[in-house]
Amino acid sequence: PLDPWYIGGPVIKGFGRGSKVLGIPTANLSTKGYSDLLAEHPSGVYFGWAGLSSRGVFKMVMSIGWNPYFDNKEKTIEPWILYKFDEDFYGEELRLIIVGYIRPEANFPSLESLIAKIHEDGEIAEKALELPLYSSYKNDPYLRSS
């Protein structure tokens, strides 16, 4: 398994494409200060735990990379928190512990196939995070220490 990595910061504005185009909101984090971590880890889809200062700890599935479908020019960190929130939380402190890797970044022939794949990733993350190996990190103080 992966050596878990810890990243955090305020939720920033992305390109506004996650929720609007895909129906899958991603709470973007700044990559500032994480260039070494990002260089060490291949682009792709990861899973782990997300702590939001005033809301609690949730499962998340995350894309790290260039988003080939959208042809991004900069690497992004984009966790989709696997919980239905009633409102946005830009500016809130978000803490992530990334514990596992699902797949490399890929390009998709259509938005539909991209969305289907992300939902599949979400289901894999939901299940994997129940395993003792991964569920133990849910109680890590880092997720609640902001």
- Find where tokens 């971590």 sit: 37
Binder among 7, 11, 102, 114 for ligand ADP (CB under 6 A):
11
Residue 14 touches ligand ADP, criterion: CB under 6 A: yes
d(CA 31, CA 43): 13
| Min CB(132)–ligand ADP separation in Å | 25
Which residues lie below 8 Å from residue 49, measured CB to CB, with a gap of 6+? Answer: 57, 58, 59, 60, 96, 97, 99, 129, 137, 138, 140, 143
Binding mask 88-127 for ligand ADP (x = CB under 6 A): xxx-------------------------------------
- In the bound state with ligand ADP, the residue whose beta carbon lies nearer, of 16 and 132, is 16
32 binds ligand ADP (CB under 6 A): no
Q: What does the alpha-carbon distance between residue 45 and residue 63 come to, in Å, rounded to a whole number?
A: 5
78 counts as catalytic: yes
Interaction residues for Mg ion, span 91-110 (CB under 5 A): none
As given in the structure block, the two tokens for residue 133 are: 């190996």
Should residue 63 be labelled a site residue for Mg ion when binding is judged by CB under 5 A?
A: no
Return d(Cα 144, Cα 137) in angstroms, integer: 12
Q: Which of 56, 83, 136, 139 binds ligand ADP (CB under 6 A)?
A: 83
Strand order of the β-sheet with 44-52 is 5-10, 93-104, 44-52, 56-65, 76-81
C-beta closer to ligand ADP: residue 1 or 70: 70
Active-site residue identified among 40, 74, 78, 87: 78
Candidates 1, 2, 19, 113: give the one binding ligand ADP (CB under 6 A): 19
